[in-house]
Homo-oligomer: A and B are copies of this chain.
Amino acid sequence: MVRSEKAKHVLDTAHPVRDAEVTQAKILAAAEEEFARHGLVAARTERIAAQTHVVKAMIHYYFKSKEGLYQAVLERAFSEISSLGEQLDLEQLSPKPALKQYVRGFLACLSRNPNLPAILFYEAIQNRGKYYKWTGMLQVYTTLAEILEQGMAIGVFRTLEPRHAAINIVGVCIFYFTAHENLKHLWRGKQMLSPEMLDQHAQEAITTIMASVQLS
């Protein structure tokens, strides 16, 4: 779904605007927050409605059901991840820069949408991938594993099990986001999703990942 300029502009106003596109966008935005925070089951349509300043019935009017809204949120949220590998053509790069580039892209994607990890987590643990078949995320793992295998083949990476290593790389990238609310106590309550902190995380994560695959 493409969000129009109009929709973007009015998105945070509380006034009723009587514009289908805007209302849907507002509901989607509020729903993403709600689902990221509480998961599908514990999410409350009433809260989403209140946040959106429309009435609960609008959710059913536009999205049929709570589930329907959830699926719409998932689709929008993961559209970017699915197309991660395509935008950077990794074939042209050698394994080391390819890995670096891909991880950088993945981290940038997460930074742009910090709700994604939580939604992913809920979908995996609570719904067991019922609504999102994880094909997008599996793509991430297999792409990483391929890069790692190539690197091993030409002797620029250490010996490792590609799939486990890929999982660990994703773990390094994602964990920070899912735990951010508690990690802040390590910085005396500092906001962990601020641009500076996210940048610091990205930098540390990339260094850690590149170091973890290098030859010893």
Interface residues of A (CB under 8 A from B): 36-39, 41-42, 118, 121-122, 124-126, 128-129, 134, 137-138, 141-142, 145, 158, 160-161, 163-165, 167-168, 170-172, 174-176, 178-179, 181-183, 185-187, 200-201, 204-205, 207-209, 211-214, 216
Q: List 23 A-B contacts (CB under 8 A).
A: A37-B126, A39-B39, A41-B42, A42-B42, A121-B125, A121-B178, A122-B125, A124-B181, A134-B185, A142-B186, A160-B208, A164-B204, A167-B176, A167-B179, A170-B179, A171-B175, A171-B176, A172-B172, A175-B175, A211-B211, A211-B213, A211-B214, A214-B216
Known: A42-B41, A125-B121, A213-B211. A163 touches B187 (CB 8 A): yes
Min CB gap A133→B, angstroms: 9
Instruction: Give A18 to B198 CA distance when docked, in angstroms.
Output: 54
